[in-house]
Structure 1
């Protein structure tokens, strides 16, 4: 991935186990006071099930994939800066952001990646599509999520006006398309006999993810925790009739992190009824004490994203 000197200075990357980070300019207590739990919070039980499903359905059957990463980490200040930057640049080009997307990708080493990009409604296709700004113009990053590949002609390698964020900073259109397409080759194609169209894009309505970051900051302040980031964790929905079209499809969930311990390691956690439960996402599977599962409102985990496939083409 090629980045400009300015971009390299503005962004930094940390790849670690699941952890929640504190914003470089953390909001004051007054600014975060009385922040209610946002939409789409889920229980720790549900997150654990999805995490374990990911191992049993996507990793364990492929013996060569046992060392695959289970999550990717974003610094919370980096996330805040990117969300603000997206709003500013989109407003400059008079492009209304409708949703925030998380595109699933794979790097050159075959490790799973997550690329964060804004979405807007495309009247020509009648759907919401992830986009960036390339050569001073709006550039959609995909056509139909049911397509195996994104066919973007002559994609740019510059990141000066990119609206795509990866763990290493801004990502060019060329690299975004390469990672998105590589995800099909390395992660989707090998399981098409079990899941003909696995998930390629997850998304929330605009503002929901920002509200989640607000909530995490207040929750951390209330519990004397130094929030430093958000872990994006790979999961899979239950393969049951109750899940309908979503059954056995990949999803994501989000958890906060802090840096602690003797080795200053990144620690993932969830607050359950004012108790911090440590989550070790380096394990193949997780088990959580039954008395610490809590309900949706007392959790620190967010999920329930929209996704495509499988839910139609009108995202």
Structure 2
């Protein structure tokens, strides 16, 4: 009888161990699943973020005599709460005003002193040109902001009464945004075009409303889980590698976003500063290609669209929308 009791006890111990093991495995699988579900598709690795940043320095700023620009002058800072409220407002406006808002674009700009910036505008799909076209509303009038044009014309009267163009320093009117857009064309695109001939010069980067929301929620969760005190998003100009496999994105200008505290830009859950990561050059030697702990976001849709000529809008076989 004693032997049987020992046997049953042993069996119970085995069963307990088995179920504990199953529970541990299930818990690990659930944690992996949660991690996969919470990580946005367009999160990029620390190395990718640093490479984009350095490519911009080497292939753009150095080409036009602006290589001495400080790291701080390259960061375009947005408050996270403001960005979240802005995207939520666009989502509500799409319903309340029955506007097919597809997302928002960071449109490239430069101030009067030549410092690069970017401002956010709501976008809707232009079916005829097949790209995401930015717009705003002023005095009840729907105004498009055509990235395909080399420069834009000012309105006779312009005021930001709907607050739809968000800059790092507050909301802009159509004319204020137009001046910045035209400044970027003059000081960066036209200057670069004299050095390097390209068929396509990026002027904006688009993300869907859902992509913005997923990324902001991801940052808020990581901030809470890892005690990072993330308060904002820093936007940086970047350039893709000169790799033919990237096709239209090869050597193209882009923007990428990274988490920001009140003190610095951080690119992973360990709080690694982007500035330190790029200055050390570690990414070039033995970089971190793992995206699981990254806080950077890219792979936006570049705009205006690459030139696809069907000769219906061309003059002398030169596309109307190619700069």
Q: Which bin holds the TM-score, normalised by the shorter protein?
A: 0.7 to 0.9
Task: Mark the CA change 1:178 to 1:292 in structure 2 (over 3 Å): closer, same or farther.
Answer: same
Secondary structure (helix, strand or coil) at the match of 1:100 reads strand
Over 3 Å counting, the alpha-carbon distance change for 1:313 and 1:231 in structure 2 is farther
* Equivalent position to 1:297, from 292, 299, 308: 292
Superposed CA offset, 1:225-246 (max 9, x none): 1111000011111112222222
Alignment of 1:30-179 (within 5 A): 36-64=38-66, 66-67=68-69, 69-123=73-127, 125=129, 127-142=131-146, 145-151=147-153, 154=155, 156-179=157-180
**Residue from 246, 250, 270 that aligns with 1:275:** 270
Residue aligned with 1:198, SS: coil
Note closer, same or farther for the CA distance 1:123–1:53 as it changes in structure 2 (3 Å cut).
closer
Higher RCO (Cα < 8 Å, 6 or more apart):
1
Q: How do 1:252-271 residues align onto structure 2 when only pairs under 5 Å count? A: 252-259=255-262, 266-271=263-268
Count of residues in correspondence between the two structures: 270
**8 Å CA contact 1:155, 1:173 repeated in 2:** no
Q: How does 1:7-46 map to 2 (within 5 A)?
A: 36-46=38-48
Distance 2:103 2:213 in 1: 11
Q: Deviations over 1:245-294 (max 9, x none)?
A: 222211111111112xxxxxx211122xx53312228x985623667614
1:187 equivalent in structure 2: 188
Q: Secondary structure at the match of 1:139?
A: strand
Return the alpha-carbon distance in structure 1 between the equivalents of residues 104 and 207 of structure 2.
5
Normalising by structure 2, we get a TM-score of: 0.76
Asked if structure 1 preserves the Cα contact closer than 8 Å seen for 2:202 and 2:302, the reply is yes
- CA contact under 8 A between 1:54 and 1:236: conserved in structure 2? yes
Q: Which residue of 2 aligns with 1:288?
A: 282
Residues of 1 paired with 2:48 and 2:176: CA distance? 33
Whether the 8 Å contact between 1:270 and 1:279 is mirrored in structure 2 is yes
**Pair 132,276 (structure 1): closer, same or farther in 2 beyond 3 Å:** same
Aligned to 1:241: 244
Does structure 2 conserve the Cα–Cα contact (< 8 Å) formed by 1:156 and 1:173?
no
SS at the partner of 1:186? helix
Structure 2, gaps ≥5 residues long: 1-33, 310-323
